[in-house]
């Protein structure tokens, strides 16, 4: 499921659009605020522009220039939390209270989760039944929605969450039964650096996911290179996580029908060339 071809280049547009669609007329008139340094920021900005809602995005001053430019280009206002001496969620929550804005979390909201789940719902409708369905995991919104969609489909699908090895908090939480964290995960999969699931997504993935695996950054780069060279698709590291789990043998479903959600394609081209150059050319 190529969400790299989605509006703003990532699945995040689905959740942002669904969240806005559920707001009252009064909330829409007041505006929304969110926090993100990446795909959610751009998704919120574009969804708000298309639905005529004023949008403010809290992000760091050191956010990738391309992502900040895209967020501004879609019509949002940007505030830098680090220059104001507050945490990103703390600043967003304070401004929401003071100015009457509605806070749009990146993943910790039922309407966001439901929106993200439409990717898996579409895949199951068009290509199901599937024996297994793999999705990357950051804050857990996409995997939660994926698990919900698979359960609603009614034809049993083995749902697997895939994380970077250096940011495997969700898998550890799933196995231990308590929320665990992975602070400052040093991985190229920037969309999966969220330090922990939320209480909402933790509960959902424990109920609707069946397994978790983790892939190393070199495994992700190999999967990215395969997609770029063989499929002619631009995919970001987090977007290649689920495919990396298959290609590396971290999960095996011989003879089965397996769905893979490619979550996004927003990546710095110079970085990609460096990653590819550091690898041996595949035979």
Query: Which residues carry out catalysis?
Result: 12, 37, 163, 167, 169, 263
Which pair of structure tokens corresponds to residue 143?
Answer: 């995997």
Q: Parallel, antiparallel, or unpaired: how do β-strands 132-136 and 158-164 relate?
A: parallel
d(CA 40, CA 42): 5
Nearest to 142 by CA among 246, 50, 18: 18
* Axis crossing angle, helix 39-50 with helix 12-21, rounded to the nearest 10: 40
Nearest to 146 by CA among 161, 167, 128: 161
Nearest to 156 by CA among 213, 211, 210: 210
CA-CA distances (angstroms) from residue 175 to 30, 84, 215? 42, 38, 17
């Amino acid at each position: 499921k190529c969400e790299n071809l989605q509006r703003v280049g990532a699945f995040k547009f689905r959740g942002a659009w669904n969240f806005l669609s559920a707001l009252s007329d009064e909330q829409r008139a007041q505006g929304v605020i969110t926090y993100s340094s990446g795909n959610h920021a751009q998704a919120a900005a574009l969804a708000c522009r298309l639905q005529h809602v004023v949008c403010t995005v809290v992000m760091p001053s050191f956010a990738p220039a391309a992502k900040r430019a895209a967020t501004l280009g879609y019509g949002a206002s940007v505030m830098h939390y680090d220059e104001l001496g507050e945490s990103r969620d703390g600043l967003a929550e304070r401004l929401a209270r003071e100015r009457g804005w509605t806070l749009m979390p990146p993943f910790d909201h039922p309407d966001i989760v439901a929106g993200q789940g439409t990717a898996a719902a579409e895949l199951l409708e068009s290509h199901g039944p599937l024996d297994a369905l793999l999705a990357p995991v950051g804050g857990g919104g996409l995997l939660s929605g994926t698990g919900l969609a698979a359960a609603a489909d009614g034809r049993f699908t083995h749902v697997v969450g895939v994380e970077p090895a250096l940011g495997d908090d969700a898998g550890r939480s799933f196995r231990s039964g308590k929320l665990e964290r992975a602070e400052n995960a040093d991985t190229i999969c920037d969309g999966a650096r969220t330090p922990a699931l939320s209480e909402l997504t933790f509960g959902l993935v424990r109920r609707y996911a069946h397994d978790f695996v983790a892939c190393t950054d070199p495994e992700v780069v190999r999967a990215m290179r395969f997609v770029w060279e063989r499929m002619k698709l631009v995919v970001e590291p987090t977007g290649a996580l689920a495919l990396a789990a298959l290609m590396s043998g971290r999960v095996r479903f011989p003879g089965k029908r397996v769905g893979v959600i490619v979550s996004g394609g927003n990546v710095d081209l110079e970085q990609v060339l460096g990653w590819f150059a550091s690898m041996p050319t595949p035979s």
